[in-house]
Chains A and B, each alone.
Chain A
Amino acid sequence: MEASNIQILTSFFKDILFTHEQKKAFLDLWEECSFKQNELITEAGRIEKYFYVVLDGVQAIYLLNQKGEKVVIGFSYAGSPSGVFDSFIHQKPADTFLEALKPSRMLALSRRDYIGLFENHPAFYRWGYQFFQEILFGRLFREVELLTLSAEERYIAFMQRCPKELKVIPQKYLASYLDMKPETFSRLRASVQY
């Protein structure tokens, strides 16, 4: 595995101390995958096979509402986890799509190997405790923002914290994530400083 990929993985699973042998076995579990722009990584109705860590590119996770419109739930990008996690864990058909909005490279871990990490290395439970806590707080924070901030405030808060690679994806995905019309997003982008 390339040194830069190893660095992304070890920083994602920081605080886990491996012996030399364990680290080699751990790195061997991951498979690098590439996706073209607009390629569907996971389709709604299919079972998610992998837990991903993103090397580069941007991916959106979205579902279709009753009108058939895409409703964006979140994004992933370099250094972040990706995949349709509920489908991955429960092995049930996904309700959401995962799409590469930019050409993407990701490291993929199968479900068997994901479960094996927890079974074979108790340190992963500690990692999982931190990881899921951060995810939960992130989602709660987003819920509060959606429920309490105006469209302009949501736009500013998001643009201030979002990584630069997210700023170049099609506006309609960002607009949907911020629960506003693409026209509103476009107007705010033209008129609001952040």
Chain B
Amino acid sequence: MAKLLLTPENQIQRLNQLLNAVENLKERSLIELTDRPHEKSWNVLEVLEHLCISYALYEEKIQKSLNQLGVESEEPWEYRPGFWNRFVLEGQRPKGKKRPFKMKTLKKFEPQLPKAVTPQDAETVFEKFKESHIQLKKFILASRNRQMNHQRIPSAIGPIIKFHLPEAFEFLICHMERHKVQIDEIVSSTT
């Protein structure tokens, strides 16, 4: 854990893999996308909607931090998070197919989709997901050759945790990877 090294290339590669995986989900039927393993579980579209909500809570803060970034650097950034933020990131990152530190979702992150989801609703969720996460990739690319001198971003899980930009990107990607594991679980238990 001490050696955790964040790089924009690693984040871009993982983000592309996640975007591809979600793109492949579009081939599934509406029944599969809205089916849930048990009553209290989210369905696939709700997980994607939850990821859009989480991203939206960071978008403005990331944009603000990007505007504060210093001059161009010769090399893309490499970033080693401090002890506490490493702990937060590793808590979010799935371990294989396991999701450590499961917790109840705060109300502000709860997906609110109509009870009877239409194909149009599903398309909207996919579009929103793609648009937001392509924007996230644009942010990573925009930061890639800049010096990381900016004020830290308060996390959406509470102001006690503050992120530098590479950590905020990493947190969002780990969060997506965690929910990708959940999507795989939902899909395998409902099909």
Contact = CB atoms under 8 A, between A and B. Distances in A.
B12 interface: yes
Contact of B5 (A38, A40, A46, A68): A68
Contact of A38 (B3, B6, B19, B144): B144
A45 B15 contact: yes
Contacts, number: 42
Given A45-B17, A45-B20, A93-B16, A38 B145 contact: yes
Interface residues of A, number: 13
B156 interface: no
A64 B10 contact: yes
Contacts of B20: 45, 93
Contacts of B16: 43-46, 93
Contacts of A38: 75-76, 144-145
A97 interface: yes
B15 A68 contact: no
Nearest to A62: B9
B5 A64 contact: no
Interface string A22-64: 0000000000000000101001111000000000000000001
A170 interface: yes
Nearest to B16: A45
Given A67-B5, A93-B20, A40 B141 contact: yes
Interface in B1-31: 3, 5-7, 9-10, 12-17, 19-20
Contact of A93 (B17, B144, B145): B17
A70 interface: yes
A44 B14 CA distance: 9
Interface in A47-93: 64, 67-68, 70, 93
Contacts of A43: 12-13, 16
- 7 smallest CB-CB distances across A and B, nearest first, come from A45-B16, A44-B13, A68-B10, A45-B17, A45-B13, A38-B145, A43-B12
17 contacts: A38-B145, A40-B9, A40-B12, A43-B12, A44-B13, A44-B16, A45-B13, A45-B16, A45-B17, A45-B19, A45-B20, A64-B13, A67-B3, A67-B5, A68-B7, A93-B20, A170-B75
